[in-house]
Amino acid sequence: MAALVVFLPLLAAAIAGFFGRVIGDRGSQIVTCGALVLSAIFGILVFHQIMGQSAPQVETLATWISAGGVDVAWSLRLDTLSGVMILVVTIVSSMVHIYSIGYMAHDHSIPRFMSYLSLFTFFMLMLVTANDFVQMFFGWEGVGLASYLLIGFWYDRDTADAAAIKAFVVNRVGDFGFALGIFAVFVLFGSLDFGTVFGKAPAETHEVLNFLGWQVPALTLCCILLFVGAMGKSAQLGLHTWLPDAMEGPTPVSALIHAATMVTAGVYMVCRLSPMFEYAPGALAVVGVIGGTTCMFAATIGMAQNDIKRVIAYSTCSQLGYMFFAAGVSAYGAAMFHLFTHAFFKALLFLGAGSVIHAMSGEQDMRRMGGMWKKIPITYVLMWIGSLSLAGIPPFAGFFSKDSILAAAWASETAVGRYSYCLGTFTAFLTAFYSWRLIIMTFHGHSRADHETQHHIHESPWVMLSPLFVLAAGAIFAGWLADDFFVGADRTEFWKNAILVLPYDDSIAHAVHNSLFIDYLPLAAGLTGILLAYLCYMWRPGIPVAAAKQFRALYLFLLNKWYFDELYDRLFVRSAFSLGDGLWKTGDGMVIDGLGPDGISAATRELAREASKLQTGYVYHYAFAMLIGVVALITWYLVPR
């Protein structure tokens, strides 16, 4: 049955992709949506089955690569961790598929779009059910491919093509680390199978490895290299630049890939590899610091953006930061919990934003929106639900998960934990602020759209709204329903041995000793953020304008996303092109060819030409040469030696 969950989307993708013209738009929608709904139903059944079993179950499908010491199989690993991911992926994906019927109704290549979406789902499921590093890498690269194809879906737009390449290449930089991590794991453990590696990890804590000439702790090295991969996929500080640009893709893609599922793969990876990370405290600290920093950094940028999707994209980046620092303090349960709730409310927010964009005839700039709430009330309410959940207001889902992360971070009593707690709490304030900034700019005040667009504003059709209700239900209830299982009383029973937490690291357990102040500070920060947003954008609209003028440098810094794009462009992109050009024209052209083949042939020709000049054809030249020869010869003999 698990195989059905995974391969139904592949089958659907193949049918819609290769026979899209035969079965038509409607046919491909039916095939892909049908397959995905089936897959989701089976996914729920599989999850139920996993809950009943006591140990991870591995279904081996076929051998893959077997050479030397490498022995890798195609297989499906079913335990709580993959179960939760199957649940999230299949449910959100099927909702997004259905939503796309409405959202993409006017597009002229519907079969291609549906095929890509299903293909993505297949790769994502392969990723989460992997039983070894290589299959995980397969899924990892596969979702990257699907992401590339979908970002560049509207290939006639230059910006979309550029964003697609950027996403793929930046991700590949991360994968470069991932791949090196896999090699290091293989050298250290002699195997790439999760079970074997996890079993051996405790014994290898003190091994060292020579890496690029330095002797480094082997396990920490493995974990950090693998984490570089996670940073790429999950858009963490430094490798985040692709995610905002990825919003060039159609909105359902942003919801599914760039919010709910693919970008969380990095978090999933760290949780999956908890039996390794737990024995590499140095690597965990790196995860925590990067996560904490990203969470704050992305939120600050989100405050200044004007494109509705970009605000939510930076918000995603920031929320992923929360998940990472949760993992960094060994609160893997909390990280997965936030991943779970975030999938619902962030997909809801994105699809809601899609509904707004749909209503606005494609307009994404919030400065040209406003005053829409009466015209699209259902979308408005849904956006409120998503935002309340995102801001961590009880009893919405985000409250439970964010709360458990921050509590665990404080309770871990490490410097990294404290650092993350402080930034995370400040970010809770920023999150609430930019969320309500978005709501107010989009739905309240005077409409700033042109007359034509205003006239067209309409509520989305039911095929788009009904998936939103499902996601909204998740955004409301997923928190208190799942709290006990993920991080509460039933958590050991729930996770079994899918994640490993060493007893003295168990920050979730330690969190019960937190003071009330620590527990409620994030909530207070969130409420303050909402109030401040109302103050700035509803009641005193002059404040943000004045603030932007007063702190112009800071505003530009945030508006331009900390100038990361400009920096990378100068540092890497342009220098790579000019270096390539130089190596080609100077290196190959002048040096190698110039000294090598062309040089030799030119020299030969030159020599021949010079030599041929001797043959002038004048007798007196030859006579003169002979005379000189004779003189030279005689001199040779006469000179005494």
Partner 1 sequence: MNHWPLLSLVTFLPLVGVGFIMTTRGDAEIVARNAKNIALSTSVIVFLLSLLLWVYFDPSTAAFQFVEKARWVKIGGFEVNYHMGIDGISLFFVLLSTLLTPICVLASWQSIHSQVREYMIAFLVLETLMVGMFCALDFIVFYVFFEGVLIPMFLIIGIWGHSNRVYAAFKFFLYTLLGSVLMLLAIIAVYYQTGSTDIETALHYSFPFALQKWLFLAFLASFAVKVPMWPVHTWLPDAHVEAPTAGSVILAGVLLKMGGYGFVRFSLPMFPLASHYFTPLMFALSAIAVIYTSLVALAQTNMKKLIAYSSIAHMGFVTMGIFAVTSEAVQGAVIQMLSHGLVSGALFLCVGVLYDRMHNYDIARYGGLVERMPAYGFVFMAFTLASVGLPGTSGFVGEFLILLGTFRVSTLECFLAATAMFLGAAYMLYLYRRVVFGTITRDDLRNILDLSAREKAVFVPLLLLVLWMGVYPSSFLGPIRASVDNLVQQVGAAEAGQHASAE
Note the residues at the interface with partner 1 (CB under 8 A).
Answer: 62-70, 134, 137-138, 141-142, 145, 148, 152, 155-156, 158, 161-162, 164-165, 168-169, 172-173, 175-176, 179-180, 182-184, 186-187, 209-213, 576-577, 579-581, 583-584, 587-588, 592-593, 596-597
Residues 6 or more apart from 624 whose CB is under 8 A from it?
none
How does DSSP assign 231-286, residue by residue? HHHTT-TTS-THHHHGGGS-HHHHHIIIIISGGGHHHHHHHHTHHHHTT-HHHHHH
Q: Which of 231, 192, 205, 453 is nearest to 321 (CA)?
A: 231
- Which CB atom, from 239 or from 472, has the smaller least distance to partner 1? 239
- Which CB atom, from 126 or from 289, has the smaller least distance to partner 1? 126
- Which CB atom, from 65 or from 603, has the smaller least distance to partner 1? 65
- Which CB atom, from 203 or from 595, has the smaller least distance to partner 1? 595
**Looking at the DSSP assignment, which residues form a beta bridge with residue 215?**
210
- Which CB atom, from 113 or from 340, has the smaller least distance to partner 1? 113
> Least Å distance between CB 263 and partner 1?
19
> Least Å distance between CB 26 and partner 1?
20
> Least Å distance between CB 17 and partner 1?
8
How does DSSP assign 202-237, residue by residue? GGGTT-EEEETTEEEEHHHHHHHHHHHHHHHHTT-T
Tokens matching residue 55: 């140990």
Alpha-carbon distance values, 85 to 138, 145, 321, 416, 457 (Å): 17, 20, 19, 27, 37
> Least Å distance between CB 579 and partner 1?
5
- Which CB atom, from 173 or from 558, has the smaller least distance to partner 1? 173
- Which CB atom, from 60 or from 63, has the smaller least distance to partner 1? 63
> Least Å distance between CB 233 and partner 1?
14
Are the C-beta atoms of 243 and 264 separated by less than 8 Å? no
**Tokens 């299959």 correspond to what residue?**
135
**Tokens 């194809």 correspond to what residue?**
149
**Tokens 């858009």 correspond to what residue?**
235
- Which CB atom, from 135 or from 355, has the smaller least distance to partner 1? 135
3-state DSSP assignment of residue 446: coil
Indicate the angle between helix axes 80-103 and 462-486, nearest 10 degrees: 170
> Least Å distance between CB 5 and partner 1?
19
- Which CB atom, from 68 or from 362, has the smaller least distance to partner 1? 68
For residue 102, the Cα-to-chain-centroid distance in whole angstroms is 26
> Least Å distance between CB 328 and partner 1?
26
3-state DSSP assignment of residue 63: strand
> Least Å distance between CB 576 and partner 1?
6
* Whole-number Å distance between alpha carbons of 350 and 347: 5
* Whole-number Å distance between alpha carbons of 42 and 76: 15
Alpha-carbon distance values, 436 to 106, 202, 306, 439, 538 (Å): 31, 47, 13, 5, 10
- Which CB atom, from 44 or from 187, has the smaller least distance to partner 1? 187
> Least Å distance between CB 62 and partner 1?
7
Are the C-beta atoms of 347 and 92 separated by less than 8 Å? yes
> Least Å distance between CB 69 and partner 1?
7
For residue 524, how many other CB atoms are within 10 A of its CB? Answer: 13
Which amino acid is it at 398? G
- Which CB atom, from 46 or from 164, has the smaller least distance to partner 1? 164
> Least Å distance between CB 122 and partner 1?
11
